[in-house]
Structure 1
């Protein structure tokens, strides 16, 4: 054995001894990080604001051949109600799940039931809100929403994301679980799918929070967030730690946050997080995070502990540089029009 090899062996042995004595563990994944799969979701799958979102919603419903699954927090748009009734009459299997605590949904439920459309209230416990918002067509395409299907919802500054790969089938499977939870009768959704893998992660409830924690902690350059409300303590701490290690952490918040959560805002701003407030018109509807300009997460509501623990929430995590680039462009414009 050469002298150089002997020295290297001694160094490795001593390092292992130090780890053993100190009680530390050697984490192989940290030495050899796992490559994150990339999604092929294109920029054109992002729909921004009222006209684009609404027109795509109508187009997708009209294109349905076999099934339409809708889950919405609030739904009272008269045109979309009539469109679902028309598709149901044509023989398409239309299923609708609504949050039971919203007054507007009671009127919508009565309208749809009177026309023999299968509609149910999601069986939430008192105090639990179903914030899930998506449309699934033929178990092959899905539109994931920031806004609810209401006049006020569509007026807000928000986005929708169209899925056409395996994640659309996964969304149909999640809807089937919610439907079975409501009616005890699962839908006929295939156990496997031939749709192409798109590497998009769907999460519900507490798993939404975990997705956020994971993405924040692994970001190395930037974390840009637009959100109605952020108060969840672990997320606040994760953002502060990201800023401390050099990430460009930005928050665009609703104007109401200045009076609702002043202590949280002070804690974030004094620890290196840059905060601006979106103009009141149009209202901010986004619940979005962009990580390292290459991936993003869209969730169904604000990031509070109550949302993750009590409510029925939903998110998609999309590691697509192409789709993210469109959102980066939007966020840059929003940042410029927002104020400190």
Structure 2
């Protein structure tokens, strides 16, 4: 009896340590997908925790990496011996970085390490993580390898490659895929987007509205300068006092989100990425954010 008792005492700490280890390697997402929004507060802590969890590598893709707290966390990661690299439009001082020299903007926004991926509309800047309206999605460890491969292909060879489960501009037929999904809508199309100037997409939205689909658009004040502003759908709201930088659409129970503005450049020139999911929990979170922006005065 004592033998089994001592074995049990020995196994308890072993099981606890194994649980802690598995929790750590599953990343901040805990093995599932989570979304965070600046409408709920700053995203700096979440992103910093992800950076701090990096043990071997941390690869970053973004238009802008300039938040002082993020830069300090990246510097600390370098000091720990982490392989930190940044692909961007503007070189990052004292951080190994490369500027994208392709014709379009390097606009896709993510961080990847061995425990998962941070992905979304937010640049790693004050506007991206605090003052603007943005979202980030934490993807678990199962997504790490495909984002790592995408990054290294762009870093080493300047080549944009497909990412399994995502639509990548300019190599995939992103515009066609989004328009097809819009045209299949049954009950609703809720658009929350910084820039909406793609004529084919606007035409699809107007067509679905004419057929009785509930079409609503939330957009940034930037859109007022677009010639499409005057001919867009009726249910449009322009956010005035805070930059609306989201890039998501809810089509019935499907979410489209990512870095892509719905423009000619966003679909066909820039380096971008879109994620499409029917995950009920994630869809509900984006529904909540859409409703809060729609009902609030900014």
TM-score, length basis structure 1: 0.70
Give the 3 Å change call, closer, same or farther, for CA 232–332 of structure 1 in structure 2.
same
**Partner residue in 2 for 1:204:** 169
> Which one of the candidate residues 229, 248, 255 is aligned to 1:288?
248
**1:1-340 correspondence runs (5 A):** 45-49=34-38, 51-99=41-89, 105-106=90-91, 108=92, 110-112=93-95, 118-125=96-103, 128-138=104-114, 140-154=115-129, 155-164=131-140, 166-182=142-158, 200-205=165-170, 207-258=173-224, 260-261=225-226, 263-269=227-233, 273-280=234-241, 282-292=242-252, 294-337=253-296
Alignment correspondent of 1:31: none
Distance 1:129 1:74 in 2: 11
Offset at 1:302? 2.3
Q: Which runs of 5+ in 1 are unaligned?
A: 1-40, 100-104, 113-117, 187-198
1:307 Cα offset (Å) = 2.5
Alignment CA distance shift 1:180-1:291 (3 Å): same
Q: Is the 8 Å Cα contact of residues 200 and 319 (structure 1) preserved in structure 2?
A: no
- Aligned-residue CA RMSD in angstroms? 2.4
Cα distance change on mapping 1:295 and 1:169 into 2, 3 Å: farther
The CA deviation at 1:250 is: 0.6
Deviations 1:265-293 (A, max 9, x none): 33223xxx41111131x22111111111x
CA distance in 1, matches of 2:207, 2:230: 15
SS at match of 2:195: coil
Instruction: Give structure 1 regions of 4+ aligned residues with deviation exceeding 6 angstroms.
Output: none
* Structure 2 gap ranges (5+): 1-30
Secondary structure of 1:162's counterpart equals strand
Q: How many Å separate the matches in 2 of 1:338 and 1:210?
A: 34
Q: Deviations over 1:129-161 (max 9, x none)?
A: 1111100011x4101131211222321011101
Question: Aligned partners of 1:210, 1:181: CA distance in 2, in Å?
Answer: 28
Where does residue 18 of structure 1 map in the other structure?
Answer: none
SS, match of residue 169 in structure 1: helix
Q: Cα offset for 1:338? A: 5.3
SS for the counterpart of 2:173 is helix
Count of aligned pairs between the two proteins: 262
Considering only CA atoms, is the larger Rg found in Structure 1 or Structure 2? 1
